[in-house]
Amino acid sequence: MKSILTDITKCIGCNECVLACKRTYDLPPELPRRWHKPDGLSARNWTSIVRLPENKFVRKQCRHCQEPACVSACPVGALIKNAEGPVTYDGGKCMGCRYCMMACPYEIPRYDWDSAAPYIRKCILCYERIKEGKQPACTEACPTGATIFGEREELLAEAKRRRQENPKLQLYGDENEIGGTCVLYVSDVDLKAIYNGRDLRGDPALPSTTAPVLASVPLTFVGVGVLMSGLYWTINRREQLKKEGESGEKANG
Amino acid sequence: MDRVRRFKLLLWSICGLAFAVAFRRFLLGLGSSTNLNDGTPWGLWVGFDVMGGVALAAGGFVITATVYILKKEEFHPIVRPAVLTAFLGYAAVAVGLLADLGLPWHIWHPTIYWQHHSALFEVAWCVMLYLTVLALEFLPVPLESFPRLGKIRNFLVKNRLILVILGIMLSTLHQSSLGTLFLIMPYRLHALWYTPILPLLFFISAISLGLMMVSMESLITSYLYRREPETHLLTKLCKVAAWVLGGYLIVRILDLLVRGEYLAIFENSWQSWWFIIEILISAIIPIVLFTSKLTRGKLGWITLGVVSGVSGFVLNRLNVGGIAMAGTTDSFYFPAWTEFAISAGVVSGAALVFLFAIEHFNVWEHPPRDEEDEKPYTLPRFAPVGTIWLGDPHTAGMKRNSMAFVVAAAFGFSLLPFSSLESKGLIKTPANSARGKDIMQIDANRDGFFVTFDHKKHENSLGQTQSCAVCHHAKLPADEQTSCAACHQDVYLVTCIFDHEKHKTWLGGNQSCTQCHPAGQNRSVDTAVECNHCHNAEDASLVLAVQESPIRMDQLNMAGSYVDAMHGLCVTCHKEIAERIYRPLHGTCTTCHPFVAEESKYEWDKLTQTTASPRWVISTPLLQENIDVEKLKESVAAQ
């Protein structure tokens, strides 16, 4: 599985990755809109650099979770987790319910609010390029090697190595964090700041919250059916017996 | 029928308004007609139209179960209205969804693209099937008027039990699954509402809400048609509702106790108060009113209890669907009036169909009669002064209603700007007049950080007095000033500030190539050494800092020409005056860029745009600082 590792300590905030992404997907310049969030991501910016105090720069993008909430939420399967790692989107299937935007714990997917035929927009980890054997445009463009591309296991090992070298560093995106993500971070600052103060490390994967309920659906369906039929039969039978009894009494009387 | 007539007029007007809004919503997209944003992608249309609509339509399955399964024949008179309300409720949900979905022409996609891990997929299927079931359950009623189709009717009546049981099965599933939808968002929903048993709570509340909704619908129609309300039935319904509500309350409180979140009720935040209000009006007030000896069985109190309970549970659905998330995302959402208009329009449309069905089919044992309609047709001899004769009563009603619709739609169109500018969500550019010179300060990024803007210069270069409309657009709606980016499209693009010629000269002309471009390689940007090869902290003279300031050029991610232009507007004059008034600080960077000096003060939430860092832009507090220009001039003159 392919993956990206971003090292916050190495990022200088040059925005090369943002521009490379925009060039690759022909995204027009973004203007400030009413519906934007302050993190710089939008339907036209699939990755952004968030500036934190003390000159720390964090690249924000889709985390491409191992067990993505958006994929499990999408009612038509427009979002897919590919074997190569990327979570990709098929606008032809999408019906625009925006449940993925609600479900994503990182609040990554963005929407074409100004369009009459809007689609969900987010980083797709350059799926086409990966299939061709190339690396994503952003990691290719990074001048300092702050964000690198590779096999997930190798990058995870590399991240752990960096953490051993510098105990101040924290690792984001390993299996403890909602089942693991394909976009890993090594950071000396708390990344809560870019995710609305949420720290997801130590939490289980989100599809597991709805899975047991949905698994019980067929049983509930049949159960309610059987219960209702049974109730009807019992009550009907009792009424019939009552009637028979009454008519019997009359006949006897 | 006077009340009905007036009520219909109101409903038709709301529909007309909603029509205008819907027109714009489908023409220009969601951004134009809603206040939804990337942080709160679900709003009133999901919270009220879908979540509320489905819950309010729960009366159908509750009453059919009572009458056909539990054989409580006394409730038979309210079966038909209950099924009709449910059918129209679900139809309203479908129409509301058409407005809310981004790609409404794909609404049928769940039928062919299956994704059984999604709660919404299950809801979609159940709602589709249940809408069909409800249609089949109600169809025998209108079919009574068509004796030719008697066979179909008989078939449906014969198989009613199957439909009823199927309806209950489907309702149980999707009423609860609407709660399942929110289980995947533990980070969004406040702890008072997020619980693993959300589906169960939704189901129980749907039952009580169904009972109360049937009562409410009966009360409203009785009022409108001046009928005697079925008080004895309502009392019984409310008694059952009180029991269910009691169960709901117990489960809800037990859940809070088990999860250990009960302390959140007393934390005195707006969420805790909101929670208390919700519980109070959704459960406690109705329970008290329905069971207390003083109030039960009395029509006024029943009405109050029912209204309280129904609005309480609508509030509950709105809370789960959005209000309780307000604190956990960094965006603010309050529905736009256009959203309210669509929601009200959908409800009004459903109500109109309901009234039509009541008047034309045997929804009640006897459809209400309009005495005026039955009067023999006579030409009026005189039109009464001050009123207009619109024809005989029957056609007059139609004319009145369609007129209300058209007028309301026209009113709606007149309120709505149809420019594409508005729908693009561009924010107005705030402007201040600056001290001295003919320069304004405008907030081009709309992020609270202003840049200088030479109005005169723009006027001159764009064609003097002819040029106003270029930026001011002859006062298009919502466009006081055009954003800078409308013309200067490259303002947000980062450009390279590297000056090759200067580096060549400094380093010794043609001899110097290899200092940056390693020998034997193509001489291009890709192969050249990085800036920090030479410009590093080891040699202080080479650090890329702007004179007298801690600004480092290599951190400046903005077009060089833009920076020059902005500085050109202020710096020259500032430096001049600084010398004259013997205040050297007046001409330094930190005078206008205080954040450079106090960087630590500046937090994440102040940051809105990453490409144009506000650090480089003049801050607003500086502009508000009140300095008397005249006094300054005097002091300069005195010196």
How far is B639 from B634, CA to CA, in rounded Å? 9
What does the pLDDT read at residue B511? 78
What does the pLDDT read at residue B519? 81
- Tell me the domain boundaries of chain A: 2-206, 216-252
**Domain annotation covers residue B351:** no
What is the pLDDT averaged over residues A129-153? 92
- Whether B399 and B390 have beta carbons less than 8 Å apart is answered as yes
Domain boundary among B309, B335, B361: B335
The pairs formed by A239-246 with CB atoms below 8 angstroms and a separation of 24 or more are: A239/B71
- Whether B442 and B429 have beta carbons less than 8 Å apart is answered as yes
What number of H helices and E strands is found in chain A?
8, 10
**Domain annotation covers residue B287:** yes
Residues in A touching B188 (Cβ below 8 Å) = 102
Instruction: Tell me which of A104 and B550 has the higher pLDDT.
Output: A104
Whether A217 sits inside 8 A of B177 (CB atoms) is: yes
User: May I ask the CATH class of domain A2-206?
Assistant: alpha beta
Q: Which two tokens stand for residue A77?
A: 């399967």
**Residue B106 lies in domain:** 34-335
Q: Please count the residue pairs, one from chain A and one from chain B, whose beta carbons lie less than 8 angstroms apart.
A: 264
Instruction: Phi first, then psi: give them for residue B514, nearest 5 degrees.
Output: -70, -10
End-to-end CA distance of chain A: 86
CA B234 to chain centre: 36
CA B96 to chain centre: 13
B123, B186, B423 member nearest A209 (Cβ): B186
Residues B147 and B282 in one domain: yes
DSSP state of B51: I
Contacts of B298 (CB under 8 A, 6+ apart): none
Closest CA to A74 of A129, A146, A122: A122
How far is B46 from B97, CA to CA, in rounded Å? 8
**Domain annotation covers residue B64:** yes
How far is A231 from B485, CA to CA, in rounded Å? 69
How far is B322 from B188, CA to CA, in rounded Å? 9
What does the pLDDT read at residue B326? 81
Residues in B touching A213 (Cβ below 8 Å) = 119, 176-177, 180, 183, 199
Is the CB of residue A241 less than 8 Å away from at least one CB of chain B?
A: no
Mean pLDDT in chain A? 90
How far is B167 from B173, CA to CA, in rounded Å? 10
The helix (H) or strand (E) run that includes residue A186 is strand A183-187
The helix (H) or strand (E) run that includes residue A151 is strand A147-151
Q: Compute the half-sphere exposure of residue B41: CA atoms within 13 Å on the CB side of its CA.
A: 24
Sign of CA dihedral B39, B41, B44, B50: negative
Whether B610 sits inside 8 A of A53 (CB atoms) is: no
B107, B119, B447 member nearest A95 (Cβ): B107
CA distance to partner chain B, nearest, from residue A5 (Å) = 21
CA distance to partner chain B, nearest, from residue A180 (Å) = 16
- Whether A107 and A98 have beta carbons less than 8 Å apart is answered as no
Compute the residue count for chain A.
Answer: 253
What is the pLDDT averaged over residues A63-71? 94
Residues 39-78 of chain A with CB under 8 A from chain B are 39-42, 48-55, 69, 71-78
Q: Which two tokens stand for residue B120?
A: 């919404």
- Cα B170 to Cα A186, B46, B174, B526, distances in angstroms: 48, 20, 6, 63
A32, A112, A232 member nearest B161 (Cβ): A232
Whether B27 sits inside 8 A of A94 (CB atoms) is: no
Residues 159-178 of chain A with CB under 8 A from chain B are none
**Domain annotation covers residue B340:** no
How far is A161 from B406, CA to CA, in rounded Å? 71
Place A206 in a pLDDT band, splitting at 50, 70 and 90. Answer: very high
Residues B466 and B330 in one domain: no
Contacts of A18 (CB under 8 A, 6+ apart): A45, A47, A48, A49, A138, B610, B611
Q: What's the average pLDDT block by block, 10 residues per block, for chain B (639 residues)?
A: 86 95 90 89 91 90 91 88 93 93 94 91 93 93 88 89 92 91 90 91 93 91 86 88 94 92 86 92 92 83 92 91 81 89 95 91 77 63 64 78 94 79 64 63 60 78 75 52 64 62 80 82 78 68 55 55 71 75 68 48 34 42 44 58
What is the pLDDT averaged over residues A150-163? 93
The helix (H) or strand (E) run that includes residue A55 is none
Q: Which two tokens stand for residue B558?
A: 């903005």
Q: What's chain A's Rg over C-alpha atoms?
A: 26
Q: Compute the half-sphere exposure of residue A216: CA atoms within 13 Å on the CB side of its CA.
A: 15
Minimum CA–CA partner of A117 in chain B: B103
The helix (H) or strand (E) run that includes residue B619 is strand B618-619
Which of A124-138, A207-221, B350-364, B443-457 comes out lowest in average pLDDT?
B443-457
Residues B331 and B437 in one domain: no
Residues B298 and B179 in one domain: yes
Whether B492 sits inside 8 A of A15 (CB atoms) is: no
Domain boundary among B303, B335, B367: B335
Residues in A touching B331 (Cβ below 8 Å) = 37
- Whether A47 and A41 have beta carbons less than 8 Å apart is answered as yes
Angle between helices B337-360 and B79-100 in degrees, nearest 10: 150
What is the pLDDT averaged over residues A228-234? 92
Q: Which two tokens stand for residue B295?
A: 């109030």
What number of H helices and E strands is found in chain B?
28, 4
Residues in B touching A80 (Cβ below 8 Å) = none
CATH code: domain of residue B286? 1.20.1630.10
Q: Compute the half-sphere exposure of residue B200: CA atoms within 13 Å on the CB side of its CA.
A: 14
Domain boundary among B314, B335, B356: B335
How far is B15 from B341, CA to CA, in rounded Å? 8
**Domain annotation covers residue B622:** yes
SS3 state at B527: coil
DSSP letter for each residue of A80-133: EE-TTS-EEE-TTT-----HHHHH-TT---EE-TT-SS--EE---TTHHHHHTT
Tell which phi-psi region holds residue B29, choosing left (phi > 0), alpha (psi between -120 and 50) or beta: left
**Domain annotation covers residue B13:** no
Is the CB of residue A113 less than 8 Å away from at least one CB of chain B?
A: yes
Closest CA to B447 of B606, B329, B565: B606
Is the CB of residue A90 less than 8 Å away from at least one CB of chain B?
A: no
**Domain annotation covers residue B52:** yes
- What ipTM goes with this model? 0.92
Contacts of B260 (CB under 8 A, 6+ apart): none
Q: For chain B, what is the domain count?
A: 2
DSSP state of A33: B
In 10 A of CB B360, how many CB atoms? 11
Q: Which two tokens stand for residue B529?
A: 């050494």
Q: pLDDT tens for residues A17-33?
A: 988 998 899 888 776 78
**Domain annotation covers residue B275:** yes
